[in-house]
A and B are shown apart, each in its own frame.
Chain A
């Protein structure tokens, strides 16, 4: 019997014949924490009596969540992380460098890697065929020290996607559709593995969007094959030598196979307050939007900003709709400046925020007022997520968000763009 991608990667890394349900111990290629989870990880590392990191060069701290910090308490958490990283020789990605889930694929993740991070969206690196999964601070603290952790090998769900996306429909609509179909716990403990001719043609930026949100269906990991698209991406990042082909076996055993026809998909939204509360945008067309937020580890990449800039070129945001844009990393921001997107966006009335997670996690930057609606390209719309439990968050693609910023109401991008 053949193996899924998850079984293949964990078998190779653990040295065991890893099958769904087995418990294995595997070394980790990259381990990281961010400023929200890092301080607790450091304290648990110290409480366990450890002094040394197993692999300082592949241990990374990201200051990305509450940046630049809004309070002295968070600034002191940043101080703690900077000091620990300096003393232990860990890598530090400081304020302004970008969101961990953008920087990891840009600079660290490779096919066949095992990556653990103290952040649930660590699954994003599955776009590059890395077995990447989020854990809590204590698990990460122990992985810092031992350079390994235990895993229950996840059973797989195969998602087979065929056909071409219609105009104004993209990877975000596909993943929202899938989560709506299987539910917020539809893939709990499982590996969601993507294949099909839509996936074969899909650029890494869109694969990252999909992998990022697999955790919103409860998945432990969301994996894409390592193919020619992966090879070209790694070459463009100067890591061509790290590429190797990786596919699930043809006779791999999946618990479930889901077939999706991309050509039949519509622009989708998630309505408040759960990600699986999805609907075609036509169902909520006309809903008033007080704030549009474009960015995050889901949709803050250069390709996303290119779509948004194309839609907003020569247009203005609706006077009653604030438009916030946060590039996912410094590199994305520099690319957006070079391509002229930043100028276009600011002329359209956008506020460009520093690279980071702040608006999405509700600590500061763009906190909503009571009763306000936000249309966001992020991955979560839980009650209170953006800092106010009395506000409402809708999720959509960058195209739907950009069009809605012009009209001031949720708008089907196929109508006007």
Chain B
């Protein structure tokens, strides 16, 4: 599966409090409304600038902090088609895959804000169309690949009824 979109660059240690600020917890049962505030405290204009298919390109330890699955959920709802980072926090990683948001681990220093990227999810290769950098993402566990290929954990469980490990 191939994805194409622009890079929105962020630094290291983008917490789930930055992705989904706790002061909007009252919107957690209204996800489209909550998504309007995604990453607001890191970039107040992010939600208005992001277009369907664009990418988050971050430094290390993206998504650290709370277990709130609302973080990857509203990134996806806002239009983000994949997260690229040097590393991601454990719970965010599992949550992103469970909601069907691909995560690619790669050296994001070579990508600049606003670059147009082309990503082949089946091979894990990333092409930066602005500077012709080519990157390869790290391998993720097989069980997570299967969950991702079904579109997330709910469709996976509906299909198999149990974990296939």
Residues in chain A within 8 A of chain B (CB atoms): 23-25, 36-37, 39-40, 44, 47-49, 65-66, 70-71, 73-74, 76-77, 80, 117-120, 122, 134-139, 142, 146, 148-150, 152, 184-185, 188-189, 218, 220, 274, 361-363, 367, 380, 382-385, 387-389
Contact = CB atoms under 8 A, between A and B. Distances in A.
Contacts of B70: 40
- Report, nearest first, the 3 A-B pairs whose CB atoms are least far apart: A136-B69, A136-B95, A362-B22
Contacts of A363: 22-23, 25-26
Given A40-B69, A73-B30, A188-B61, A136 B158 contact: no
B64 interface: yes
B152 A138 contact: yes
A37 B157 contact: no
6 contacts: A25-B163, A36-B25, A48-B154, A117-B67, A138-B98, A149-B163
A120 B22 contact: no
A135 B67 contact: yes
Interface of B: 13, 15, 17-18, 21-23, 25-30, 41, 60-61, 64-70, 73, 87, 89-91, 94-95, 98-99, 141-143, 152-154, 157-158, 162-163, 165
Most-contacted residue by chain A among B23, B27, B152 (CB, 10 A): B23
B23 A362 contact: yes
Given A383-B17, A385-B17, A48 B157 contact: yes
Given A150-B163, A188-B61, A383-B15, 19 more contacts: A23-B143, A36-B25, A48-B157, A49-B158, A73-B27, A135-B94, A136-B68, A218-B61, A218-B64, A218-B90, A220-B90, A274-B13, A362-B23, A380-B15, A382-B15, A383-B41, A384-B17, A385-B17, A387-B22
A149 B90 CA distance: 15
Contacts of B17: 362, 380, 382-385
Contacts of B158: 48-49
Contacts of B28: 36, 39-40, 77
Contact of B141 (A36, A149, A152): A152
A66 to B, nearest CB: 6
Given A382-B17, A383-B18, A71 B26 contact: yes
A118 B64 CA distance: 15
Given A48-B154, A118-B67, A382-B65, A138 B95 contact: yes
A370 B91 CA distance: 31
A234 B42 CA distance: 44
Contacts of B142: 23
Contacts of B154: 44, 47-48, 138
A380 B165 contact: no
A99 to B, nearest CB: 14
A69 to B, nearest CB: 8
Contacts of B153: 44, 138-139, 142
A394 to B, nearest CB: 16
Contacts of A362: 17, 21-23
Q: Which of A77, A80, A385 has the most CB of B within 10 A?
A: A385
A120 B143 contact: no
